């Protein structure tokens, strides 16, 4: 390995893995991005990208392409599900951009994945290994060997200096003491044609409707001619995995007593996909040796704070910053003339990388745990039943938009430079 660039294997090309591959290659590493699917197909749905995440992508030179593909909504408008009564409006648009120096965006997931993939492809030293599953990792002096399982049953192996497991919530490299937990809720997603909801397309808002044991979010997506709808309802039968088809009658029935707007949106949806919502018990210790998890693999979070992808993007920035000094082994070992010396240097390089991985985990744990807990708290507030819902509605109605926005300063105001001090 002496004299060559260190290489990092990244398993999983979701939003977290793609961002990690991009930032690690920009930091000077050779990167192998391993994805078990044959191409990166982010599910047809939207994503809110708060300033803590958009700031990183803009810093990576993606601001221009983001502004062509994303919308910066003016506000989050919170309404009561049963009668549509306005409860609160949280300003976004220029207000949040001025406050945090970066925009709050909404974007189609496929657009975000494809703009990241384009940037990864344009970045030097990245090898894309699609249709390959990382099936095991062995550590040895100087690095790791990742076993790969190909689509048609082929087996191969990959040498690298470290493995970043960005494999999502069901990752085999998730923290050992953090078990998956079913929330009791299922998210239903649909894309409603803009023609069926023209007033919502032009409104410039993220709509949030709250009701007992359910809520609904909608926002328009740029270039797609659709309104993204996420409806969360109770579900007794959890199912692992990504998505499955949902029956229209079930979701229409769950929102039957709600106001006209959410009911009309639900009726206009051509089809639904469902996700049983899981998270894991928050963990302080994540990885081991030369393996570290990132994104949902490290700290899966319920979607009640719209932060899972944002935190994965943050992870990637902090990981790349910690590993950057190790991108190139010392020139002193170039050539490997003295084998013993080279081996010692490789072992030293591995020890440095291992320490950098632990530093990254240490810098991320408190913040991601806080976000995981906050998301669970939001679940209770969003779905409160009477009389708690009355208290929630009063608190929301009495606070100004600025006050409500200020509650998220710890979250949206984060930047990678301050990661070790600001949680
Ligand atoms: C309803 C809903 C709404 C949400 N809304 C938002 C939002 O508005 N804003 C936000 O920030 N977050 C949101 N999230 C959360 C966000 O979607 C996730 O947190 C985020 O996608 C996690 O990204 P990831 O890259 O860590 O993992 P994933 O997206 O799960 O990607 C993992 C990738 O790894 C691959 N993989 C797995 N195992 C292997 C292996 N062994 N070898 C190779 N490849 C492998 C998978 O195929 C996949 O491509 C929402 C989530 C839900 C369910």
> From start to end of 200-349, where are the E strands?
205-211, 214-221, 226-234, 244-246, 272-280, 291-293
Q: What is the pLDDT of residues 315-373, one digit of tens each?
A: 999 999 999 999 976 544 444 455 655 565 677 788 899 999 999 999 999 999 999 99
Q: What is the pLDDT of residues 160-203, one digit of tens each?
A: 999 999 999 999 999 988 888 999 999 999 999 999 988 888 88
Is 195 within a domain?
Answer: no
**Ligand 1 nearest atom to the CA of residue 46, by list position:** 8
411 half-sphere exposure, CB direction, 13 A CA radius = 23
pLDDT at 422 over 50: no
Angle at 354 between CA 350 and CA 358, to 5 degrees: 170
Rounded mean pLDDT, 63-74: 96
- Counted residue by residue, the chain has a size of 423
The structure's pTM equals: 0.95
Is 378 within a domain?
Answer: yes
Range of the domain at 367: 7-73+106-179+283-382
Indicate the number of domains in the chain. Answer: 1
Is 100 within a domain?
Answer: no
For 103: left if phi > 0, alpha if psi spans -120 to 50, otherwise beta; the answer is beta
User: Strand pairing of 7-11 and 30-35?
Assistant: parallel
Ligand 1, atom 29, lies closest to the CA of 14
Ligand 1, atom 30, lies closest to the CA of 168
Pocket of ligand 1 (CB under 6 A): 11-17, 34-37, 47-48, 133-134, 166-168, 187, 189, 230, 275, 295-296, 303, 306-310, 312
CA of 66 to the centre of ligand 1 (A): 19
* Alpha-carbon distance values, 129 to 39, 165, 214, 296, 386 (Å): 10, 14, 40, 21, 52
**Ligand 1 nearest atom to the CA of residue 12, by list position:** 34
Contact 299, 3 (CB under 8 A): no
* Residue scoring higher pLDDT (416 or 93): 93
Is 62 within a domain?
Answer: yes
Per mean pLDDT, which range of 108-117, 203-212, 333-342 is the poorest? 333-342
**Residue positions annotated with a catalytic role:** 219
For 313: left if phi > 0, alpha if psi spans -120 to 50, otherwise beta; the answer is alpha
CA of 297 to the centre of ligand 1 (A): 9
Reference 269, options 191, 197, 335; nearest CA is 191
Q: Name the residue of 13, 14, 242 to mutate for ligand 1: max ligand atoms within 8 A of Cβ.
A: 14
Q: Would you say the C-alpha torsion 325, 164, 107, 115 has a positive or negative sign?
A: positive
CA distance 86 to 272: 27
CA of 350 to the centre of ligand 1 (A): 29
Residue 368's CATH number: 3.50.50.60
Ligand 1, atom 3, lies closest to the CA of 303
Is 403 within a domain?
Answer: no
Is 11 within a domain?
Answer: yes
Is 95 within a domain?
Answer: no
């Amino acid at each position: 390995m002496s004299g060559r660039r260190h290489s990092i294997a990244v398993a999983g090309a979701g939003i977290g893995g793609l961002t990690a591959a991009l930032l690690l290659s920009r930091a000077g590493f050779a990167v192998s991005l391993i994805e078990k699917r044959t191409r990166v197909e982010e599910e047809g749905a939207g994503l809110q990208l708060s300033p803590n995440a958009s700031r990183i992508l803009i810093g990576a030179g993606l601001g221009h392409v983001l502004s062509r593909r994303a919308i910066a909504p003016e506000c989050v408008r919170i309404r009561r599900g049963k009668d549509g009564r306005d409860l609160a409006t949280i300003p976004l648009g220029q207000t949040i951009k001025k406050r945090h120096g970066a925009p709050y965006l909404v974007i189609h997931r496929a657009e975000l994945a494809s703009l990241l993939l384009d940037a990864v492809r344009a970045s030097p030293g990245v090898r894309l290994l699609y249709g390959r599953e990382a099936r095991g990792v062995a550590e040895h002096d100087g690095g790791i060997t990742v076993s790969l399982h190909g689509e048609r049953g082929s087996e191969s192996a990959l040498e690298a200096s470290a493995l970043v497991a960005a494999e999502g919530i069901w990752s085999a490299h998730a923290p050992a003491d953090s078990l998956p937990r079913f929330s009791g809720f299922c998210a239903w997603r649909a894309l409603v044609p803009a023609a069926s909801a023209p007033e919502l397309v032009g409104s410039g808002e993220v709509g949030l409707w709250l009701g007992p044991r359910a809520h609904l979010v909608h926002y328009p997506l740029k270039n797609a001619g659709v309104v993204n709808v996420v409806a969360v309802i109770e579900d007794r039968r959890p199912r692992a995995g990504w998505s499955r088809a949902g029956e229209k009658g079930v979701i229409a029935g769950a929102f039957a007593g709600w106001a006209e707007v959410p009911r009309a949106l639900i009726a206009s949806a051509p089809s639904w996909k469902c996700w049983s919502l899981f998270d894991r018990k928050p963990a302080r210790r994540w990885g081991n040796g030369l393996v570290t998890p990132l994104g949902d693999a490290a700290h899966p979070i319920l979607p009640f704070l719209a932060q899972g992808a944002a935190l994965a993007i943050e992870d990637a920035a902090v990981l790349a910053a910690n590993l950057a000094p190790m991108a190139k082994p010392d020139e002193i070992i170039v050539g490997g003339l003295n084998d013993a010396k080279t081996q010692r240097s490789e072992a030293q390089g591995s020890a440095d990388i291992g320490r950098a991985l632990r530093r990254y985990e240490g810098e991320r744990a408190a913040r991601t745990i806080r976000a995981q807990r906050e998301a669970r708290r939001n679940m209770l507030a969003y779905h409160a039943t009477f009389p708690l819902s009355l208290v929630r509605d009063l608190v929301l109605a009495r606070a100004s938009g600025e006050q409500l926005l200020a509650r998220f300063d710890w979250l949206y105001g984060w930047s990678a430079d301050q990661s070790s001090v600001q949680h």
